[in-house]
Every structure is written in C-alpha cells, then in structure tokens.
Amino acid sequence: MVRNYFKIAVRTLLKQRAFSIVNIIGLSFGMAASFIILNYLNFERSYDTFNEKADRIYRVPMQITEKAARRKLSLLRIRR
C-alpha cells in the first residue's frame, strides 16, 4: 500500500514540476523558520539557568528622564 503511495507521489511530482517545486520550497522555508524560532525560544528560556540560585535572579528595569522629574523603578521576578 505504501509502495503505491510513493508511486503516485513520484508521478505527480514529475507531472507537475513547477507546482511541486513551489510546494517543496515553501515547506522548506516554513520548517527552517520554525526551527529558528524554536531555537531562539530555547535560548531565551535557558538564560541564566547555569546559576545554582537561578530562582533568585531578579531584573530591575529603570526609566529615568533627563531632568530626573520622572522615575520608574520596579522589581520583576524572572519566571522559569
């Protein structure tokens, strides 16, 4: 049964070359983009996990203007 599916797929690829090339290129670009996104997400989530006390790491974002009229300071816990 699987052998017949491969025969039909090869015949279709040979019959409709342009359509098949466009589909294969689109599939490869999609797979490459998803791999890059997953790799980036894995990198971002693993940041600072080498530390023994990674659950104690905090991020302190600050926003200070030139005249120091407005300050914003908050303490954010980094979730794992």
Q: What is the pLDDT of residue 19?
A: 94
How confident is the model at residue 52, as a pLDDT? 83
pLDDT of residue 27: 97
Count of domains observed in the chain: 1
State residue 73's pLDDT score: 57
pTM higher than 0.95 for the full model?
Answer: no
Q: What pLDDT tens digit does each residue of the chain (80 aa) get?
A: 999 999 999 999 999 999 999 999 999 999 999 999 999 999 888 877 777 887 787 777 776 666 555 555 555 556 65
The CA-CA-CA angle for residues 41, 51, 73, to 5°, reads 75
Structural domain for 24, as ranges: 2-77
Sign of CA dihedral 32, 33, 38, 40: positive
